[in-house]
């Protein structure tokens, strides 16, 4: 299978390219500065030149607070770039896998969000990612929209690594305790993306590590696993005073993926331990 991965140098993209190559897939990776998906004509022509069987579209503006200060830039990448990719894939009648986010929801649900629940994003980031989803639904028949959440991994800036670093430097960390989601290890997301790409079960999916956690609980577990002598102190969202509003509860029920494939990802605590304690090689051996 010939695969094109946009955002191939990012946190998830790097893991996915490595994973696909371990499966002996033919992989082409795009990333800045060589490939800017917001250049619509170049993107469509480039997809034709690569001739992929499937495109994994991961390129995005993911700085949630930064998107609030650059609405045009976020819209250009997360909407226009996604629309361009969708047009190119549809012209070839190929498959498109698009990674979206839990931030398309407003966080007011009393239960984990299902794929058909109404989206109502609070932030520019969430709104532009939802625009990307809708562009794909309108423009590309053979698509998979995969919402995940709270991604971390060794190939990009993320909350887990930030806490790991800061907990070695300071005796006390204040972390938000009233936002709850599902921390997800980027490496664990790769196989589900591959499983979907090889299927014809088109549609929208939620795929995260199992279970739920607040940011404070996640930080406390990072500190425990690393053995850092740092106190983690819970604070509320208002005290944190972040630029972009976040959903208070954005846990995603992996309902459709479990129904189609009969499996769910391992608990977030187990995945985090694998990452923190350096068991990645063991996990890699289980890829095939």
Q: What percent of the chain has pLDDT over 70?
A: 97
Q: In this predicted structure, what is the pLDDT of residue 287?
A: 47
Residue 256 sits at the vertex; the CA angle it makes with 51 and 83, to the nearest 5 degrees, is 35
Residue 281 scores a pLDDT above 60? no
Task: Name the active-site residue from 98, 103, 113, 125.
Answer: 125
CB 25 within 8 A of CB 49: no
User: 159 in helix, strand or coil?
Assistant: helix
Q: How many CB atoms lie within 10 A of CB 225?
A: 16
| Pick from 104, 109, 93, 107: nearest CA to 133 | 104
Residue 175 scores a pLDDT above 60? yes
Q: In this predicted structure, what is the pLDDT of residue 283?
A: 43
Number of H helices, E strands in the chain: 13, 12
DSSP 8-state symbol, 243: S
Mean pLDDT (the chain, rounded): 95
**282 — pLDDT class (breaks 50, 70, 90):** very low
* Token pair 């350096």: residue: 278
CB 209 within 8 A of CB 221: no
Query: Is 125 a residue of the active site?
Result: yes
Across residues 251-259, what is the average pLDDT?
97
pTM for this prediction: 0.94
* Token pair 């009969």: residue: 262
CA within 13 Å, CB half, 198 = 11
Structural domains present in the chain: 2-157+183-210+251-266 (3.40.50.720)
The residue length of the chain stands at 288
Tens of pLDDT along 102-112? 999 999 998 99
């Amino acid at each position: 299978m010939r695969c094109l991965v946009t955002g191939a140098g990012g946190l998830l993209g790097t893991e996915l390219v490595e994973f696909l190559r371990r499966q002996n897939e033919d992989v082409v990776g795009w990333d800045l500065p060589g490939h800017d998906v917001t250049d619509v004509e170049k993107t469509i022509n480039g997809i034709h030149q690569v001739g992929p069987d499937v495109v994994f579209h991961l390129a995005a503006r993911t700085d949630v607070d930064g998107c609030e200060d650059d609405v045009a830039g976020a819209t250009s990448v997360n909407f226009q770039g996604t629309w361009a990719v969708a047009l190119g894939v549809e012209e070839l009648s190929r498959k498109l896998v698009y990674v979206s986010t839990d931030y398309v929801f407003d966080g007011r649900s009393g239960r984990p969000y299902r794929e058909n629940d109404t989206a109502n994003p609070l932030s520019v980031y969430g709104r532009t990612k939802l625009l990307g989803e809708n562009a794909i639904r309108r423009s590309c028949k053979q698509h998979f929209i995969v919402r995940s959440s709270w991604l971390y991994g060794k190939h990009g800036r993320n909350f887990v690594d930030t806490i790991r670093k800061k907990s070695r430097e300071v005796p006390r960390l204040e972390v938000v305790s009233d936002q709850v989601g599902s921390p997800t290890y980027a490496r664990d997301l790769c196989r589900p993306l591959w499983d979907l790409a090889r299927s014809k079960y088109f549609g929208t999916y939620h795929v995260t590590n199992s279970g739920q956690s607040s940011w404070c609980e996640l930080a406390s577990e990072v500190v425990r696993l690393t053995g850092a002598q740092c106190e983690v102190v819970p604070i509320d969202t208002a005290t944190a005073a972040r630029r972009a509003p976040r959903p208070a509860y954005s846990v995603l029920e992996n309902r459709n993926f479990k129904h189609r494939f009969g499996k769910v990802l391992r608990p977030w605590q187990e995945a985090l331990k694998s990452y923190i304690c350096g068991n990645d090689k063991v996990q890699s051996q289980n890829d095939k």
